[in-house]
Amino acid sequence: MRDAVSTDGLLVQEMSTGFGKTQVLHGVTLGVEPGETLVLFGPSGAGKTVLLRAIAGLDPNAVGRVFIAGRDVSMVGPERRGIGVAFQNFALYPHMSAMENIASPLHARKLPEAEIAEKVGRIARLLKIDHVLAQQPRALSNGQKQRTALARALVGAPKVLLMDDPLRNVDAKLRYEMRMELPRLLRQAGAASIYVTQDYREAMALGDRIAVLIEGHIVQLDAPEQVYAAPASVAVARLFGDPPLNLLPCTPKVTGDGLTVRLFGLDLALPMAAGIAGRDALLGLRPESIGILGAPAPGAARATLTAATPLHGKVVLLLRTPEGEEILASQVGQPPETGSTVWFRPAPETALLYDAASGLLTLHAGATTEEAA
């Protein structure tokens, strides 16, 4: 994580908040460049919405600094921070038309009517809702409501854009459409954007970087491919991937200048640093990295295929070893018959090794400390 960040965008420092005796955020720090989209990813209850509220200045209990475009706005009310927010349940003003909803930020700045009409028209055309501008929110479909909310957030050309899972309440087809449109929109807007989601695929599609928030702490802040390839902890690994990562208990041993792990009667050589040898560990194997063979081969173990389920264009296979262990594998294409015996070969090159006690990822050999979470 970078220590020094340019302040043209958004900088959040040591943001903590809670209510009563419960602390929800613990000293969260992150920075977003102008034009960058940072995805805030985490399970429900992690504090994502709370963090957005705190950044927007809507949380009276929040402690911490917020800088927007070089200005310290920590003590400033939400109305003067220059941000746009898209809420999960749209939060449109029910007693105003869509046009008035979108125009609200411009009215607040007391712009002349003609300019307001022009700006609203432009963004409405961009988001394809110009034909419903005169209607009230209750007459709009969910997709139109969400686009109105987005238009309202974007119309004032804010420096910072906060989006709280805006696609959650929208039907699946529209969600996919928007998922492709949004990056273009956000790039055009040029704001420093934070996008909250619980869907890891959405996170990977939309984010330039992903910040994983678990129980009020940022546990990883990386490019999407990095988070997928090397989740910083067991918790992150479980969240990223569908079907989820296989996590197998093992005890690595030092052999030569690397580690070996014995699983399923196989010796797997791992390219990790030796520090974890002798301790309890969890080996993470992605289902797609497990090769399925019809016949015995070196480096492959035997198992029974107990179930095969189609998922997102792949097939997820549930394998059961003779010792009773269960592993998930996935592949594209026709699976073998359920109940038949297969041989599976785990690929140790993409395997991940986690310290069972701390849940943290063990480093690759030769990795620099900077990659540590």
Q: Interface residues with other proteins (CB under 8 A)?
A: 3-8, 11, 13-14, 19-20, 29, 53, 56, 58, 60-65, 67, 70, 74-75, 77-81, 83-85, 87, 89, 91-95, 104-105, 107-109, 152, 156
CB closer to other proteins, 85 vs 219: 85
Question: Smallest gap, in angstroms, from Cβ of residue 161 to other proteins?
Answer: 11
Question: Smallest gap, in angstroms, from Cβ of residue 59 to other proteins?
Answer: 9
CB closer to other proteins, 52 vs 261: 52
Give the residue among 152, 246, 238 at the shortest CA–CA distance from 198.
238
Residues 6+ apart with CB under 8 A from 158: 82, 83, 84, 105, 189, 191
What ranges make up the beta strands (E) of 126-245?
Answer: 160-164, 192-197, 209-214, 217-222
Question: Smallest gap, in angstroms, from Cβ of residue 129 to other proteins?
Answer: 17
CB closer to other proteins, 60 vs 298: 60
Question: Smallest gap, in angstroms, from Cβ of residue 343 to other proteins?
Answer: 51
Angle between the 142-155 and 113-126 helix axes, to the nearest 10 degrees?
Answer: 130
CB closer to other proteins, 29 vs 198: 29
Cα 156 to Cα 176: distance, rounded to the nearest angstrom: 26
Question: Smallest gap, in angstroms, from Cβ of residue 162 to other proteins?
Answer: 8
CB closer to other proteins, 4 vs 332: 4
162 close to 85: Cβ distance less than 8 angstroms: yes
Rounded-to-10 torsion of CA 220, 226, 227, 231: -80
